Amino acid sequence: MTCIGNSGNLPEVVDAAINDNDLVVAAVLSGNRNFEGRVHPLTRANYLASPPLVVCYALAGRCDINFETEPIGKGSDGNDVFFKDIWPARDSVEEIVNAVVKPELFRDFYANTLTRNERWNKLVCPQGQLFEWDEASTYIHHPPFFQGMNMELPAPEVIKDAHCLLLFGDSVTTDHISPAGNIAKTSVAAKWLISRGVEQKLFNSYGARRGNDLVMARGTFANVRIVNKLVDKVGPFTKHIPSGEILPIYEAAEKYMSENRQTIIIAGKEYGSGSSRDWAAKGPKLQGVKAVIAQSYERIHRSNLLGMGILPL
């Protein structure tokens, strides 16, 4: 079982076959998010199914099977085994649940929650009332959002002569904007982690490093399947309009900010659909985005943009 893209690497030969032949490969999952590249960066087609169905597809090893007419595989006796042969009846499932899932299971498990994990309990940690920020930490960093705040409301900022950082079509999800899964080894976030002495095998995921704004700003729009119409390739790249240079999105955003140029995003319908991920609004804020112009929004994401001071138009 894995969560938000922590499924590990594919065998190198499979990885190479997908990339070399530009294959659209599929996954079947029992989660609640079947976004492109979520289970693994190379899986473009992802289908939702119940847990037993996921097992059936895994046993079959393919997604284009008709379970009613095609066998899933061969039994130990050499005969075909069909879906109907292994699908459990509701009565048998209830019988096992009633026999196994008892109240004492939960009582026993939660009775020693605070003492059970010896390693956790032996960790040495500061005792003060305020958190001690460690600049060397690649997991938790003092976020910039409340630094320098005061009780006086700043005057509304005029957005003028802004450049388009990204030009999107329809259905850009919060997973495109702020991926939660695998940190690609060629990404800007990966380069930053390597510069801090973190090995590739210890990159973990954007979800695990969401406490570090320096990682998450670099991970914003870092989805390997993102389609930005300002460039003619799929992935986290854009054109720095004044120079015409094609750059990773984070580097282009940094360049605009260093030049004191404002940026906006233009999108189609359903911008920000999917998980109501706060970093999908925080990340663009850190990249200097002032406004998004879209045909329509997912309601929570629109609210999150407003909360971060990005104007959704």
Q: Supply the pLDDT for residue 166.
A: 98
Decide: 162 and 291 in contact? Cβ < 8 Å: yes
74 lies in a domain?
yes
Containing structural domain, residue 75: 12-92
Phi-psi region of 221 (alpha: psi -120 to 50; beta: other; left: phi over 0): left
296 lies in a domain?
yes
Decide: 294 and 273 in contact? Cβ < 8 Å: no
Same domain, 36 and 173: no
> Where among 75, 92, 109 does a domain terminate?
92
Separation CA 139–CA 136 (nearest Å): 9
Decide: 126 and 132 in contact? Cβ < 8 Å: yes
3 state SS of 291: strand
CATH number at residue 219: 3.20.19.10
Q: How many CB atoms lie within 10 A of CB 153?
A: 6
Q: Supply the pLDDT for residue 1.
A: 62
pLDDT, averaged per 10 consecutive residues of the chain (313 residues), comes to 71 93 92 80 89 93 95 95 94 95 93 90 89 93 89 89 97 92 90 95 91 97 93 96 97 98 97 91 97 97 96 97
Pairing of strands 73-74, 80-81: antiparallel
127 lies in a domain?
no
> Where among 92, 120, 136 does a domain terminate?
92
Q: What is the pTM of this model?
A: 0.82
Same domain, 227 and 86: no
CA-closest candidate to residue 225, choices 181, 272, 189, 176? 176
Question: Structurally, how many domains does the chain consist of?
Answer: 2
Same domain, 176 and 283: yes
Same domain, 78 and 176: no
> Where among 37, 63, 92 does a domain terminate?
92
33 lies in a domain?
yes
Helix (H) or strand (E) holding 292: strand 289-294
Helix (H) or strand (E) holding 286: helix 279-286
Same domain, 75 and 168: no
Count of residues in the chain: 313
Range 61-68 contact pairs with CB under 8 angstroms and sequence separation of 24 or more: 63/26, 63/28
Same domain, 173 and 295: yes
Decide: 26 and 49 in contact? Cβ < 8 Å: no
